[in-house]
Structure 1
């Protein structure tokens, strides 16, 4: 079965060719656009993911249950709560991006991320206000999850629409670069705070510093994005175009097959991404018993590798095909993950941990980039942000957002510290099933 995007009418296609600035901008203009989108997207993911680096402290301050592992499960579970709202945000804000434009949607998501960061930054602890404290944290995560649900579709669609048929993989790869950049900055900040502050200072106020910074950076990202060109044609934004097909209604009426295959394929990439980039630092602290100031270098290493290699992965998928790059890298990742966990448990030292993380991150970059690039290519322009948001958020919400929770729960359930590897292997194998039924999008026109 070959899932393809719906064809466009000649009039809409002509309007798109006329309106889309990507077709007429030079390389310098495109470079500025990539930088602006990447920076703004990175700021949003910084706000969202910094929570993961301080999950152990947040668990202690806001979830005072008995046992460190139980605290960690509640803290990483709250990290996953934010993902519950991603599909809702994907539907609501994705449809908004397909009707009002990519820029308007991305500015709104940044304002919402700023609000979520402010709530966490100034939320009193459980010792001060009791059960209201964790409820405030959960509220903030829900707001941020809703915002990111719409951000991913709008920003990825915008990146793809600046590229051509031969460069969309490279352009789309910068979505993953931006996520890696936020992890690089967040982990460096976490390392600096953990190394420069006493345990008391870090737990009393130091952990709040990144959230204050994220809150303050929101308006900067909004200003940067205000100078981007809109790629959604005016014909699609018009009332007639909206009446011709509401984005959400059109998605579920004519693209259910695309949604199903896209969601299942996304499971493998997102599980690997959140385990390797985020969970392994927490794993090193709680399971390998490494100091926080050293364990956070695992996230930095993984993020740095993905930042460097993601554009190459995107360019390679332009050259040899999305499916080929995704298939080979994901099979290699499935084969490597169990020996990797065996090695870091047998030799729980920082050099071994960072070496293992670096190797896994190479495979994550080459499996995640073609995956995230393929998703918006499956939908026509007038419903692209909505479709991308729904597919990505459904796949990420459970298997990515709760990956850390599932991994910790499996350790507790089985008593084996190798349990996170089982989770990655299972997700990876399932995600390969629909790949033969998906069409190759590299080099093919999407509009």
Structure 2
């Protein structure tokens, strides 16, 4: 029991670490995920080899004491984690998005919340109803199951048409506000399907939360459609409503004399009145299965991209898997290796060119002084003239300062190095007048 409790407490942390992979890939901003460090909880209380430090095996009494100590440590850890999860507001409540929680864990958490799956920390958890369970509840045929699978692969998110009730009045959908005070209880509910909405101008984390519900059936009120005041309440997923009603059959069938009578009435209700919502839920369950396979593939190898997210090429040729791949690994957040190399090449081409330099000339001071002395000597007698200094060409190289002439880039040309262009009129004048 203690080990199961510890496992339940660590599932949120495991999901958070998996979400961090997508947060890093997308470059999204999440204060909760930034501080996460992957340290498995079991390693904190894991048993070490019994004979690691001792040359002799433990006695029976020592072994029992050792196991009792480990059990006590696990119990204390589980209790402390449970208190932390329920005693304070967890940031995971606002940041969770990855729908990879085990169905057993969802069922356990929902039972603690009076079977209200919509009260869990994320909007994306699917009610723990398997495809086979849907088939049993509504007695679906093989042809209907094949149709649902085909609709999931072809991105057909319209209601299944057939000899089933399709209108709002015929479906008899419940008012969600009767068992969820945060939802509308004024108008009747209608069935709709979440499509591929355009997520423009939103943050990356907001997109990560919404891409996992494409094709999911939901219930919404009809206040605006009926001309009433907009209640501005949120939608509710049909599978979560169905899970709540399966646990509270008295809501749909209050006059039933027994629980067995309610069960039979519910089976008949799903076979006929709610057959369209059940078929639509099966379609989304198939779509969610593809989403989970893609998410697990990215978690196993974060280097995967749209072209390699799944190894099954037969599935990747279908419309929905290709479109879902673009949502999970969008190029606007995640560059492919080819585009990343192209960006690197562009950065290398943007190297700054050296500016053209101005040639600086240097006149040696000894040469200038020699010219001045020669000019003065021509005006004085030779006997009074002082000996001329050493010619500049005979000075040692150490006396010559470093040249300040700088070279230019080969691809550029300076004004000094260009040949002087003479006007053609000058050539004509010379040929005529000999000047």
Identify whether the pair has TM-score above 0.5, normalized to the shorter chain.
no
**Bigger relative contact order (CA 8 A; separation at least 6):** 1
TM-score by length of 1: 0.24
Larger radius of gyration: 2
Q: Indicate the structure with greater helix content.
A: 1
Task: State TM-score, norm by structure 2.
Answer: 0.24
